[in-house]
Amino acid sequence: MERIYFDNAATTPVSEEVFEAMKPYFTEKFGNPSSIYKEAQETAGAIAEAREKVASIIGSDDEREIIFTSGGTEADNLAIKGVAMARKKKGKHIITSSIEHHAVLHSCEYLEKNLGFEVTYLPVDENGFVNPEDVEDAIRDDTILITIMMANNEIGTIEPVAEIGAIAREHNIYFHTDAVQAVGKIPIDVNEMNIDLLSLSAHKLNGPKGVGALYVRKGVKLIPQMSGGAQERKRRASTENVPGIVGLGKAAELAAENMEEKSKKMAEMRDRLIEGIEDNIDEVILNGPRGDKRLPGNVNVCFRYIEGESILLNLDMNGVAASSGSACTSGSLDPSHVLLAIGLEHEVAHGSLRLSLGAGNTMEEVERFLELIPGVIDKLRMMSPLYEG
């Protein structure tokens, strides 16, 4: 029987259409876009086309606002450190949340430890929501940046970014959002949402690994974090990853097609997973909200009395790939900072399971999983010294 892949939040397979679009730029169309001859103009044109497609999926009407990067992590670093260094004379205070991806949190910590910035880490409620009123209350005269993610990578919470963006705009503060998990799954319009900077990554939407982008609204000042060339309008040095950029552009184009229909399908599978788990297994905690305030493909639950790593190993042996949280922290023995932030106790947070759906998943796979998971949990609980059921 074919394996079930339920870890699309970690990465997605490159679609056949994306792969075919990329192939010529490895061998036939190999010119360096910074040169002036025909081969270079061919690759430069491909980059320009990809830039337009990426701008389109987030509602930007100016492709020059897109900077290509090596991924979402670099985009987050460039946005936060770049803005901080560019605006440090105006102030050294940043506002973020306690459940951000570590690319954001560690960038903020770097600025605190090495450059004397102050960072306010806002709390979230039991479903992972940032309160816009808390954002406004945290603003100081020296606040220069607010960075709040669009959708949480672990528990799927879709944050009120439009409200937060409006607050930032009113106070003349730059607003950055990490939209790595959101792009291609929910509608985004950077203008309507008052977003100044937005990070995204190709491999979360059936594109290749090692390429992403940062949207930077026209007029926003930031200091480049890489030196050595004038690429990306002098904002990100390094010879462009042409095949990757072409792949990102194609992935964005495909993700934008019938997005509502595809997201509806994923939401139906998500809700069936939640229903089936809660109906057939006791002492389960759903982490994050229900309904349309949750990413359509995200399920995150905790099973009391057992550890997530044991669940994952048993699922793997039974043909299912899943995770207990962010792939970027999979080597850590500490419980998820996101689950602790929403109020879970350490021992409960250790028993988490994240299932993240993608375009290739089916309801048949969902039903197969629901037949399998009760037995896995029962087996592990019977082995647990904490379980008395």
Tokens standing for residue 388: 């008395």
φ, ψ at 299 (rounded to 5°): -130, 130
Of 40, 259, 328, 340, the catalytic one is: 328
302 is catalytic: no
Dist CA 8 CA 180 (whole Å)? 12
β-strands 174-178, 197-201 pairing: parallel
Tell which residue, 304, 323, 306, has the closest CA to residue 315: 323
Please name the residues in contact with 62: beta carbons below 8 A apart, sequence gap of 6 or more.
55, 218
How many Å apart are CA 96 and CA 114, to the nearest integer?
Answer: 18
Tokens linked to 231? 């690429």
Q: Which residues of 175-205 are buried (b: 16+ CB within 10 A; e: fewer)?
A: bbbbbbbbbbbbebebeebbbbbbbbbbbbb
Distances (CA, A) of 117 to 30, 84, 104, 178: 43, 8, 14, 20
| Residue 92: strand, helix, or coil | coil
Catalytically active residues, by annotation: 328
